[in-house]
Amino acid sequence: RMGQAIAAGIDAEAGMEVAGIWSRGGDLDALVGAADVVIDFSLPDGTLQVLDAVIRHGKPLVCGVSGLGDEHMQRIAEAATTIPVVYDRNMSIGIAVLTRAVRDAAASLGPDFDVRIAEVHHVHKKDAPSGTALKLGEAIAAARGEQGTGSVQFESERRGEVPGEHEVVMRSPTETLTLGHSVTTRQVFADGAIRAARWVVDQVPGRYRMSDVLFAG
């Protein structure tokens, strides 16, 4: 589904065209060789193959695959020494803005505020908390000088076909600050990836996030 959404988004973009869509058993090397930039929304196993191919061909990569483990992160770091890689657990532009906002809010409010992140996704999503919730929690914890997700509390709900909802609540005994983001269609992730693809082709080798796409420079 994401492949179709990305293809549809690229077709609507001036100056961009789809070089091809890879499926298991297809010729990945031929596709990567013909492309100026590769967008990966496959599965963790597929991502390892994609990383090998973009390293071989020296092509920029945008990766939005969720559920990646330590091996994937090591391979992404290795790839980023020779090619520019945009990797983010959420390709939404709004989430990039929300991440910056909650980081700034946490730094300003300090440690006296309790922080809770609630997220809702479709019933097919198995991981909880979501990668995006963890990304938000890590940004907040770092702003407060904590490790990992620090003292941030998480709530996860799986129902229906909800593409994604995240709410960050920062509460003290006297006031509450609430920041949130909701997605109405998964096309938003494709659109963010396409924006990242336009941006990454002009970058030097390195590891980038959506915040770099939006705010760098």
Q: Does the annotation mark 57 as catalytic?
A: no
Looking at 57, 59, 72, 121, which residue is catalytic? 121
Asked about 125 being catalytic, the answer comes back as yes
The contacts of residue 113 (CB under 8 Å, 6+ apart) are 106, 170, 171, 172, 177
- Selecting among 125, 135, 166, 181, the annotated active-site residue is 125
Neighbour-count burial for 57-91, b at 16+ CB within 10 Å, e otherwise: bebbbbbbbeebeeebeebbeebbeebbbbbbbbb
Output the CA torsion 203→138→128→50 (10° steps).
20
- Residues 23 and 98: their CA atoms lie apart, in Å, by 33
| Cis, peptide link before residue 129, omega less than 30° from 0 | yes
Catalytic residues: 121, 125
